[in-house]
Structure 1
Amino acid sequence: PLPRTGPLPLSFGQRRLWVVDRMQPRSREWVSALFLPVPEGADAGRIGAALDRLVERHEALRTDFVVRDGEPMQLIRPSGSLELTTVDVAGHKLPAVLDRELDRGFDLDGGPLARALLARDPAPGGRQVLMLSVHHIVCDGWSSAVLEREFAEILDALRTGRAPRLPALPVQYADFASWQRERITPETVERELAHWRRTLSGAAPLELRADRPRPRVRDAKGAMVPLDLSPRVTEALTEIGRRRGATPFMTLLTGFATLLARRTGQWDVVLGTPVAGRDRPGTEGVVGFFLNSLVLRLGLAGGLSFGAAVERVRDACRDAFAHQDLPFEQLVADVAPERDSARTPLYQVAFDLHDEELTGSASDGADFATLIEVSRIAKTDLTLYLRRRPDGGMSGGLEYATALFERDTVERLADQFVLLLEGASAEPLVRLDEVDVLPAAERGELDRWSGTPAPPYTLDAPGLFERQADATPDAVALRTGSGEVSYRRLDRQANGIAHRLRDLGAGADSVVGVLVDRGADLIAALLGVWKAGAAYLPIEPGTPDERIAYMLADAGATLLVSDSALDGVTTVSPRTADARAERPARSADTERLAYVIYTSGSTGRPKGV
């Protein structure tokens, strides 16, 4: 650790916030509100003592900022206490009181940069709410979770007269700031910038249609619309990601990016996300501003299935996370040196997932609702926040700039996001441009307004497959024990089978037997029969020859797709049929017979249905 004998250097992130504060002093935009758990019976004296223990434990909470030779530095006070104000306030007036407290902002030159407000409802059964206000330059979202856990432990230790059970802190934030300065050399910066220049070349800002004209100078006033994901949907999405090597962050991000693309028509989605920046051992339990901002460029396409999109987002995230050490302010200075006062630099929409469970008072419905009410700052045009609940679901909200959006617009976005994830979690093969995002109420209104029935389907099953193959020819269509098959390869194999069947007389109203082991060849055979215009008759491998012969004769099938020859029927092998790019001409008919399947039959004879 560094000696604490004088001013110490700032981290890159701290310096960025210090510069912002010079331009917008005492701005509420960088004040974080943390609601700490207050058990019944805890008095102001014990609460104040617990807060002071936190200040003693974490240097960031007793740090001042000074200027030496024109350069900002941080100065750590050897001791200090945290200001605790106690007020009696009726429950319905609580949001306004908390609002005024946050509006006070902080003076970086004078410090301290954290204070607490204990609001008590004097009514019988009234609750206590403890809000800790702290400037982001000394505390990030991860730090808030640390403070919440440690405050609860210290408060309980004071109640029972024992020593708090807290891990030792081998380093403090000032040590990290010094280490970061040593680690990120000019050579490192140039190497990382080269990567990001390539990644962001040609990227366009996301044009999310607003309800009001964008102000010439960005207005940070904001609000939040809450949303919830059920445990069922959350677990289904987690499983979709797990099968594709993707984290819940990546899977949920895929859903959010899809919604943005559907709303804007821009499938090359660029948005931002915060990263913890705590990869150095010993920093997990330290309070401070470790946060860095990361730009994610997600090149999606409407023809992708949700599952395929998760894979694409996974790859984009892995690439970005591998280059997350470059300080965001240095990326902005290089890639977007000319600032637009109306927009946040590089991205205007963000996604923030806290995968740990809600704890303490944040998991209490009333307090969380209060937090949403007083969360009036929008750090971007639109930010999606999500955090895991103890029941396995997700809670959070869409934070939005009130200068741009009406609340009902964002409420509709929140409803569409939940609906999109419900649909994608149930059917991961659904195309991104087809997943349902229209709430039932709005769909009913459209039906009433139109007064006409919906048009019939214009594509049959093979037609839908061919449309997907055209949209994503190189995407994975099948995964088997022997490998992966692309849409292009599967389509061409099916075309070859279809042309061969056509040459042998297959067509509309004809039935073709299919006797193929389960695998890619079976899917190609079924598609090939459909592309030929015929219906398929599935036959389980291992079925006795007598039974096979009866089913083929009863169904009028004179052709069989199989690797095994059978007397009395012409056989086409799915393996030897020449793969062809040319598709057989046919007319789409969704009313045409698709397949015939045989049951055991009550008389002992198989019965086709």
Structure 2
Amino acid sequence: MSEYDVRKRLEAVLRSRAAEARAEHPLSPAQRSLLILHQTDPANAAYNVAFTARFTGGFDTAAFHGALRSLVGRHAALRTTFGRVGTPGAGAVEGRQSVHGWLEPGFAETDAGDWGDERLAQTVRDDHREPFDLMSGPPIRARVYRTAPGEAVVLLSVHHIVCDFWSLGLMLAELEQLYRAESERRPANLPARNAPYTDFVTYQRDLIATARGERARAYWHGRLAGRLEPTAWPRFEPDPADADGGASIVFAFPDALARDVFALAREAGSTPYVVLLTAFQILIGRYTGRRDVLIGTPVAGRTDPALAESVGNFVNPVVLRAELDGAASFGELLGRARRTVAEALEHQDYPFERLVRELSPPRRDGRNPIFQAMFSYQQPHRYPAHAGLYVADEGAAPVAWAGLTAVPFRLAQQDDQLELVLEVVHDGDRLVAVLKHRTSVFPSAAARQVIRCYLTLLGAVVANPRHRADDLPLPAVGDPGSDRVGDAVGAGDPAGDALADAAAPADEPAPAGLGAQERRVTAVWRQVLGREAIGPDDNFFDLGGNSVLLMQVHQLLTDEAADRPLTVPDLFRYPTVTSLARRLGQAAAPVGEGPGRGRASSRRVQLADGAARGARLRARGRQRVDGDGGRDA
């Protein structure tokens, strides 16, 4: 018998004996909140966290199963069950968690060799949505779908009560080493000890009682003083094709726009996270009609370095409050947001759940307290190669993993926790995002419009950070609580093309004097751009235009006496000769009339003007390091 076989037999004996052992511990505030939600709706899978990938190159199911069992043995959180919260009896009101000496992880293998892609994808979705039994456990399970010899799709699901994004990255990295060790029949040589999650529960409870905890409490009570009314969104036409609950749309930022976001962050002495956050705050302000905007963002919560290698639910949402002065430039709002983020990180230890109980904000059934929209920016700096696997968009590249190739496999998840969530993942030099939306609030068409508006806004601010917030080019989205008005959403799917062309009305009559307006626009463009060959469908930005030249066009074309004076955002909305001529021809039209035929895609606006701005930024050759090292919040 080999040394490997002896070790495996010993492990089996020890696990059998350890199965009877358990230790009781209190819950963290985050765990208590999740447990209450689970008891209220035990069939809800909104808090199932998952990793999926297609493994090729000789996948070994037995080795993966062995690696999973070793992973569970290494982390106490994955061997935890939970008692009920709020039940009568001493010590039961606050709930308890039981850490078992051994708890077998869920595992199943299925032969999917003759399945089509649609059946496989649907089965993976259904298995992911299978609820966890937190009372009896386990809180982790894996499903292996064998698609061909040496190939399999793997679904790893964990309940959020014992896992967060950081933990998922740690688990994937350790699984890689454990799988390789199982395949080679040798020990994995991982560090023998990691701090259990229950140590964090004690650390958090003790910290709250210190002066540092009191300072954090005072900061959040001051920052969130006043009425905290739930967000009032515009009402959108329901989409009969939408399923109940949540949905998500994956989209990649155009490469030029991503580069320009990074460049603007360097120039401003900030980070991509704060640039993207500030744009999202402005977008939410435009949708809600509010100057006072509250957005949640998750922070890692691992302020104690000893917890870096631990699995558990350490993440804590913090509230970022923005006062959106419409006269302030984007650069000014960016500076404010950076200060707000820095303060929030300084006081991140105070549990959000405890803060909610203390502030007692107005509550509405099914709505998150204090904030209803969230922004997150994930840069897996510890395991950067894994970034593309998390979002699994079409541009994500396969990743080498334990001698295999891991191919991204898309799975929508956690899309019904809040009404609107934008998650951006920094994958190498790419930015990839997932917009998660509650379909009862944002039907699919409205969600696609959110993406269009966000990317249009970003294109404008990287082109010119001096834009006043109120002048940023965004379609009208309707008044809060009112039925949707304004621009129609393009019919294309942003998951395939993040900036798909907007659908143009087919039968709009041409305004009077269109020919004269076309000649007027062409003459101005020739003067500003210094070129003669300009056609009716040419795009100003494709011809070399930028934000500086655009301001010259505005000065030459604007007519303050018109019923609808031309604005700078109009020039972004109507970047072709024909579309801008139609806009000028509508000068006497009623306010609220939509854009005419010939409106160019927002993609062309962003790529052209954003690229011009980015080229200037990159030419300066600045190498300033991001203020927080480029890490996620």
TM-score of the superposition, structure 1-length normalised? 0.67
Q: Deviations over 1:22-75 (max 9, x none)?
A: 222242122112225634211211110111111111111111223673142222
In structure 1, how many angstroms separate the alpha carbons of the residues matched to 2:510 and 2:214?
A: 58
User: How much has 1:450 moved relative to structure 2?
Assistant: 6.5
User: How much has 1:365 moved relative to structure 2?
Assistant: 4.3
- 1:201 corresponds to: 225
In structure 2, how many angstroms separate the alpha carbons of the residues matched to 1:65 and 1:220?
A: 29
Contact 1:205 1:270 survives alignment (8 Å):
no
- 1:244 corresponds to: 268
Contact 2:56 2:150 survives alignment (8 Å):
no
Contact 2:295 2:321 survives alignment (8 Å):
yes
User: How much has 1:184 moved relative to structure 2?
Assistant: 1.3
Matched, 1:399 2:436: yes
- 1:389 corresponds to: 427
- 2:621 corresponds to: none
In structure 1, how many angstroms separate the alpha carbons of the residues matched to 2:255 and 2:309?
A: 29
Contact 1:119 1:130 survives alignment (8 Å):
yes
Say if 1:311 and 1:212 are closer, same or farther in 2 by CA, change over 3 A: same
| Alignment-mate amino acid for residue 174 of structure 1 | T
Matched, 1:416 2:453: yes
Contact 1:173 1:286 survives alignment (8 Å):
yes
Paired-residue identity, %: 30
Matched, 1:233 2:257: yes
In structure 1, how many angstroms separate the alpha carbons of the residues matched to 2:188 and 2:258?
A: 35
- Mind listing any 5+ residue stretches in structure 2 that lack a counterpart? 1-20, 85-89, 397-406, 476-498, 522-633
In structure 1, how many angstroms separate the alpha carbons of the residues matched to 2:273 and 2:413?
A: 23
In structure 1, how many angstroms separate the alpha carbons of the residues matched to 2:506 and 2:321?
A: 34
| SS of 2:470 mapped into structure 1 | coil
Contact 2:128 2:155 survives alignment (8 Å):
no
- 1:379 corresponds to: 417
Contact 2:55 2:151 survives alignment (8 Å):
no
- 1:69 corresponds to: 91
- 1:303 corresponds to: 327
Matched, 1:184 2:208: yes
- 1:52 corresponds to: 69
Say if 1:371 and 1:340 are closer, same or farther in 2 by CA, change over 3 A: farther
In structure 1, how many angstroms separate the alpha carbons of the residues matched to 2:469 and 2:507?
A: 23
- 1:451 corresponds to: 511
Matched, 1:164 2:188: yes
- 1:129 corresponds to: 153
In structure 2, how many angstroms separate the alpha carbons of the residues matched to 1:349 and 1:246?
A: 23
| Alignment-mate amino acid for residue 389 of structure 1 | D
Map 1:278-357 onto structure 2 (within 5 A): 278-336=302-360, 338-356=362-380, 357=384
User: How much has 1:448 moved relative to structure 2?
Assistant: 5.5
User: How much has 1:208 moved relative to structure 2?
Assistant: 2.4
| SS of 2:96 mapped into structure 1 | strand
Say if 1:430 and 1:178 are closer, same or farther in 2 by CA, change over 3 A: same
In structure 2, how many angstroms separate the alpha carbons of the residues matched to 1:191 and 1:350?
A: 25
User: How much has 1:223 moved relative to structure 2?
Assistant: 0.6
- 1:24 corresponds to: 41
- 2:139 corresponds to: 113
Contact 1:237 1:248 survives alignment (8 Å):
yes
User: How much has 1:99 moved relative to structure 2?
Assistant: 2.4
Contact 1:222 1:400 survives alignment (8 Å):
yes
| Alignment-mate amino acid for residue 27 of structure 2 | L
Q: Supply the RMSD in Å over aligned alpha carbons.
A: 3.2
In structure 1, how many angstroms separate the alpha carbons of the residues matched to 2:372 and 2:392?
A: 31
Say if 1:288 and 1:382 are closer, same or farther in 2 by CA, change over 3 A: same
| Alignment-mate amino acid for residue 203 of structure 2 | W
User: How much has 1:167 moved relative to structure 2?
Assistant: 4.1
| SS of 1:80 mapped into structure 2 | coil
| SS of 1:85 mapped into structure 2 | strand
Matched, 1:432 2:449: no
Pairing partner for 1:87 from 87, 90, 110: 110
| SS of 1:38 mapped into structure 2 | strand
| Alignment-mate amino acid for residue 308 of structure 2 | E
| SS of 1:277 mapped into structure 2 | coil
In structure 2, how many angstroms separate the alpha carbons of the residues matched to 1:419 and 1:209?
A: 20
Relative contact order, higher structure (CA 8 A, sep 6+): 2
Q: Deviations over 1:469-491 (max 9, x none)?
A: xxxxxxxxxxxxxxxxxxxxxxx
User: How much has 1:313 moved relative to structure 2?
Assistant: 0.9
- 2:128 corresponds to: 102
Contact 1:116 1:133 survives alignment (8 Å):
yes
Say if 1:109 and 1:272 are closer, same or farther in 2 by CA, change over 3 A: same
Larger Rg over CA atoms: 1
| Alignment-mate amino acid for residue 195 of structure 2 | V
| SS of 1:121 mapped into structure 2 | strand
Pairing partner for 1:14 from 22, 31, 45: 31
In structure 1, how many angstroms separate the alpha carbons of the residues matched to 2:447 and 2:282?
A: 16
In structure 2, how many angstroms separate the alpha carbons of the residues matched to 1:274 and 1:21?
A: 20
Q: Deviations over 1:437-484 (max 9, x none)?
A: 457944965995673668999xxxxxxxxxxxxxxxxxxxxxxxxxxx
| Alignment-mate amino acid for residue 134 of structure 2 | L
User: How much has 1:230 moved relative to structure 2?
Assistant: 3.3
Say if 1:162 and 1:36 are closer, same or farther in 2 by CA, change over 3 A: farther
Say if 1:362 and 1:5 are closer, same or farther in 2 by CA, change over 3 A: closer
In structure 2, how many angstroms separate the alpha carbons of the residues matched to 1:272 and 1:371?
A: 28
In structure 2, how many angstroms separate the alpha carbons of the residues matched to 1:19 and 1:362?
A: 28
- Mind listing any 5+ residue stretches in structure 1 that lack a counterpart? 214-218, 458-609
Contact 1:36 1:148 survives alignment (8 Å):
no
In structure 2, how many angstroms separate the alpha carbons of the residues matched to 1:437 and 1:447?
A: 24
Say if 1:449 and 1:431 are closer, same or farther in 2 by CA, change over 3 A: farther
Say if 1:150 and 1:172 are closer, same or farther in 2 by CA, change over 3 A: same
User: How much has 1:161 moved relative to structure 2?
Assistant: 4.1
**How many equivalent residue pairs?**
447
| Alignment-mate amino acid for residue 59 of structure 2 | A
Contact 1:66 1:72 survives alignment (8 Å):
yes
Q: Deviations over 1:246-268 (max 9, x none)?
A: 22211110111122222332232
In structure 2, how many angstroms separate the alpha carbons of the residues matched to 1:449 and 1:413?
A: 28
User: How much has 1:154 moved relative to structure 2?
Assistant: 1.9
In structure 2, how many angstroms separate the alpha carbons of the residues matched to 1:102 and 1:5?
A: 28
Contact 1:29 1:220 survives alignment (8 Å):
no
In structure 1, how many angstroms separate the alpha carbons of the residues matched to 2:55 and 2:395?
A: 11
In structure 2, how many angstroms separate the alpha carbons of the residues matched to 1:8 and 1:59?
A: 12
Q: Deviations over 1:4-33 (max 9, x none)?
A: 973122222112212222222242122112
| SS of 1:29 mapped into structure 2 | coil
TM-score of the superposition, structure 2-length normalised? 0.65
In structure 1, how many angstroms separate the alpha carbons of the residues matched to 2:293 and 2:509?
A: 33
Contact 2:26 2:201 survives alignment (8 Å):
yes
In structure 2, how many angstroms separate the alpha carbons of the residues matched to 1:426 and 1:162?
A: 55
